[in-house]
Chain A
Amino acid sequence: MSPVSFLRLRDVTLDFPIYQGSSRSLKKALLASSTRGNLGRDAAERVNVRALSEVSFEIGNGDRLALIGANGAGKTTLLKVLAGVYEPTQGRFFCSGRVSSLLDTSVGLNPDATGWENIILRGMYMGIHPGEMRALAGGIAEFTELGDYLDMPVRTYSAGMMIRLAFSISTCVPPDILIMDEWLSAGDAQFLGKAQRRIEEFVRRSSILVLASHSLELVEQWCNRGLLLHHGRVVTIGPVKEVVAAYRQLMDIATPPDLTAIATAV
Chain B
Amino acid sequence: MAGLTDLSSVSVPRTGSVVEFPELPTRLGCAASDIVEGLGRYWLWTRLAHQDMRLRYRGSILGPFWQTITTAIMIGSMGFIYARLFHVELENYLPMLSVGLILWQFTSGMINEGCGTFEAVQGVIQQVKLPFSLHAYRLVYRNLLVLAHNFVIVPVVLLIFPHPIDWLRLLVLIPALVLIVINGIAVSTLLGMICARFRDVPPIVGSIVQVLFFVTPIFWLASSLGPHGRWLVLNPLYCAIDVMRSPLLGQPTSPHSWTILIAVTVLTSVASFLFFARFRSRIAFWV
Contact = CB atoms under 8 A, between A and B. Distances in A.
Nearest to B1: A54
Interface in B39-57: 41, 43-44, 47, 51, 55
Interface in B86-139: 123-130
- How many chain A residues sit at the interface, stated as a range, is 35 or more
Contact of A107 (B22, B128, B286): B128
Given A26-B201, A103-B127, A103-B128, 9 more contacts: A11-B4, A16-B285, A57-B10, A58-B11, A59-B11, A60-B14, A92-B24, A104-B123, A238-B10
A24 B2 CA distance: 36
Interface of A: 4, 6, 8, 10-11, 16-17, 19, 24-27, 29, 54-60, 63, 80, 83-87, 92, 94, 99, 101, 103-104, 106-108, 110, 112-113, 121, 124-127, 129-130, 225, 233-238
Contacts of B127: 85, 101, 103-104, 107
B19 interface: yes
Contacts, number: 121
A182 B198 CA distance: 33
Q: Which 5 A-B pairs have the closest CB atoms?
A: A84-B129, A56-B3, A26-B198, A87-B281, A107-B127
B84 interface: no
Interface of A is mostly: mixed
B169 interface: no
A110 B51 contact: yes
Interface in B176-225: 194, 197-201, 204
Contacts of A86: 284-285
- How many chain B residues sit at the interface, stated as a range, is 35 or more
B126 A234 contact: no
B128 A10 contact: no
A16 B194 CA distance: 18
A108 B6 contact: no
